Chains A and B, each alone.
Chain A
Amino acid sequence: MTAPTMDRRAAVKKLLDARDGALVVTGLGSPSYDVHAAGDRDDNYYLWGAMGGAALVGLGLAQARPDKRVMVITGDGEQLMAFGALATISIAGPKNLDVIVLDNQHYGETGMQQSHTGRGIGFERIAAACGFAEAAELRTLEEVDELALRLKAPAAGPRLFVLKIKAENLPRSLPPRDAVHVKNRFRAHLGLATC
């Protein structure tokens, strides 16, 4: 029997419905579409490239705004490109940064080739070994409901959660590709000047 997986859009929507003011950074590809599908907002920063950068953009943001919770929503392929980032984030130790890895164990954008996570690498174990305050793998939407509540509680350090999702290409929900526009509206949301 194969282990259960969940619907990615439903899982992301649950987390975003409970975001409670959290700033959101998304990794390129389907995670950006999932977050956009739940509703385009000024406090989302979508990446369309810079593979491996999402969690690190989240780190810089979390350090600049310790008063805000930051949630990074990315994919297994994107995070695999920045394996060392988990070490850097753990050492930095932000208490307001949560990394959500949407893990379908495949590179969905490029033809569904199997990724490392489908061959035995578990980000929840990597994060735990790096010293994240919390790390876990989730397989059902009921567990995501519990996670949404858990994320509202104060953290002792960075947290990482792997959501095992179905490997499927859903209709794309495309965020703006104008990176300057998205940056400026994000900063304006925080009351910061735009150049």
Chain B
Amino acid sequence: MSIAEVISAHEPKVRDLAAEWPRALYETLRSAGVSHMSYVPDAGHSTLIRLFSEDADVVTNVLTTEEEGVAIAAGSWLGGKRSVVLMQSSGVGNCINMLSLPVQARFPLLMLVTMRGEWAEFNPWQVPMGQATEAAPKAIGITVLRAETGADLVDAVGQAATMAYEADQQVAVLIGQRLLGKKKW
């Protein structure tokens, strides 16, 4: 180990969570024992998707539609793996009937949802489902949490992982569009 590395290893790690929340989320989820991830891509999840995909100890699935991830996560738990599902708010509506599986069987479920249609949104077609993203999963019995800052998000996901995997709860964490920033296109 070089002197620079020794010094660096002993320096307290100060991380700017406003910018580095994806890596912090990845580390939080891996520490919580998550080794399985399914996703429908979203720009807001791109770093997290890349980090999980590059991890040889994590199984990842790309989905054709979000409810697939809900069923896959249930199967993964049946076999002893902790799974997380990543999606955009528009995908939450796709999940609704499949959510009866984790709700009825009390399968752990952790969904991380990047929000559209609520802050500096240029596409009006994102607004209706964006408005319904919190109400729809609540209506079927999912616990819904929201985070607007990187620090809150990391806290929310850490405790949601406890609720899901230690207490067999179904939890969606919504990641505010204000935190994600305006979509560049």
Contact = CB atoms under 8 A, between A and B. Distances in A.
Interface of A: 23, 25, 45, 47-54, 56-65, 68, 82, 84-85, 87-88, 91-92, 179-180, 182-183, 186-187, 190, 192, 195
B78 A183 contact: yes
A188 to B, nearest CB: 11
Given A59-B61, A61-B75, A179-B101, 6 more contacts: A52-B98, A56-B68, A56-B72, A63-B76, A91-B61, A195-B106
Contacts, number: 117
SS class, residues of chain A in contact with chain B: helix
B64 A85 contact: yes
B106 A64 contact: no
Contacts of A195: 106, 166-168
A31 to B, nearest CB: 15
B133 to A, nearest CB: 21
Given A57-B75, A63-B81, A64-B81, A50 B106 contact: no
22 contacts: A25-B75, A52-B71, A54-B71, A56-B68, A58-B75, A59-B61, A59-B75, A60-B72, A60-B77, A60-B78, A61-B75, A62-B75, A63-B61, A64-B36, A64-B59, A64-B79, A64-B81, A85-B64, A179-B106, A180-B104, A183-B105, A190-B80
